[in-house]
């Protein structure tokens, strides 16, 4: 009888944990969502540099879908992350003292617990999505 109660309690606990995990995961933005929100207006939905803002910029945007091809078949993951978070100087993203997305992400996440870890995760998720755009 005790075994049955423990088994049922465990089963209910796992079920509740599964529902909580599913609810939490549905709140997480996907890489595509984050990319379109923060990068798509300039880089375009496919990363080709043809976003609706691109005609108004003074610099020509790189074709993000060719990063792997232009890097001898290896996607430059850390370079992409550094471009997004501002630790690598990218003319169109502002100067390194105030990188556009690095600064925005940090301010957005500052009130949260583990904000620096969440910031890096957000940058990583965007970089991973950009890796799926490669041709």
pLDDT digits (tens, 9 = 90+) for 77-100: 999 998 888 776 665 555 543 346
| 0.85 surpassed by pTM | no
Q: Does 10 fall in a domain? A: no
Distance CA 12, CA 25 (A): 20
Is 121 a member of any domain?
Answer: yes
Q: Is residue 123 in some structural domain?
A: yes
Query: How confident is residue 24, by pLDDT bands cut at 50, 70 and 90?
Result: very low
Q: How many domains does the chain have?
A: 1
Determine contact, residues 42/54, Cβ cutoff 8 Å.
yes
Residue 9 lies in a domain: no
Is residue 16 domain-resident? Answer: no
pLDDT band at 9 (very low <50, low <70, confident <90, very high): low
Q: Give the list of residues 6+ apart from residue 19 with CB closer than 8 angstroms, or none.
A: none
Domain containing residue 76? 30-132
In 28-134, which ranges are continuous DSSP H helix? Answer: 31-38, 40-43, 77-85, 100-109, 115-132
CA distance 135 to 22: 32
């Amino acid at each position: 009888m005790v075994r049955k109660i423990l088994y049922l309690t465990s089963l209910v606990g796992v079920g509740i944990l599964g529902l909580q995990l599913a609810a939490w995961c549905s709140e997480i933005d996907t890489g595509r969502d984050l990319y379109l929100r923060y990068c798509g207006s300039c880089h375009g939905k496919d990363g080709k540099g043809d976003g609706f803002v691109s005609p108004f910029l003074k610099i020509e945007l790189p074709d993000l879908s060719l990063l792997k091809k232009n890097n001898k078949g290896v996607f430059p993951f850390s370079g992409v992350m550094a471009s997004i978070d501002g630790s690598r100087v990218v003319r169109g993203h502002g100067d390194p003292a105030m990188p556009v997305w690095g600064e925005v992400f940090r301010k957005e996440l500052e009130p949260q617990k583990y904000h620096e870890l969440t910031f890096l995760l957000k940058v990583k998720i965007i970089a991973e999505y950009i890796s799926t755009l490669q041709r």
